[in-house]
Amino acid sequence: MSFGPVTLGLSSTSDISAPGAVRILSITQTSNSSLVLKCELPTLDSDGSALTGLTKLVVAEALATVDGVNPFENLSMESAIGLADATTNMELAADAAGTVVDVTVPILTVGAVHAFAVAASD
């Protein structure tokens, strides 16, 4: 049996039920230079109250470690941004809570495993 080129993937998990958490629904490679993250914005603030006034979505991106570990594991978003090889900022409409947005991010190295940290701010 003959196969075509092998596509690899890596996914880490986090507590997506935590109030205020952005959910990464999918990551799609659209070319040799970009990926699209489909993200669902939260509906609850980190204190559990209804979320209003989101202003920005930030994606921090780096290459995963050789053993496949996400280098952003257990970091605050501020620390993740400081460690990132690339960051992508998306301005959000004030009524964006609960919507799904597509964020285009660069491919740092074709063939490498990319790691992400994503958060929204209000």
Which tens digits make up the pLDDT trace of 77-104?
Answer: 999 999 999 999 999 998 899 999 999 9
- In-domain check, residue 56: yes
Q: Does 44 reside within a domain?
A: yes
- Bridge partners of 103, per DSSP, are 37
The SS3 assignment for 79 reads helix
* Amino acid letter for position 75: L
Residue 89, burial from CB neighbour count under 10 angstroms (0-12, 13-18, 19+): exposed
CATH code of the domain in which 32 resides: 2.60.40
Residue 41 structural domain: 23-121
Average pLDDT over residues 52-61: 90
The C-alpha atoms of residue 71 and residue 14 are separated, in whole angstroms, by: 14
Domain count, the chain: 1
Domain membership of residue 47 (yes or no) is: yes
CB 84 within 8 A of CB 61: yes
**What's the confidence (pLDDT) of residue 20?**
80
Question: What rounded mean pLDDT belongs to the chain?
Answer: 86
Closest CA to 107 of 37, 34, 28: 34
* Reported confidence tier of residue 57, pLDDT bands at 50, 70, 90: very high
Q: Is residue 62 part of a domain?
A: yes
Q: Which two tokens stand for residue 25?
A: 């629904």
pLDDT tens profile 4-47 = 666 656 566 666 566 788 889 999 999 999 999 999 998 887 77
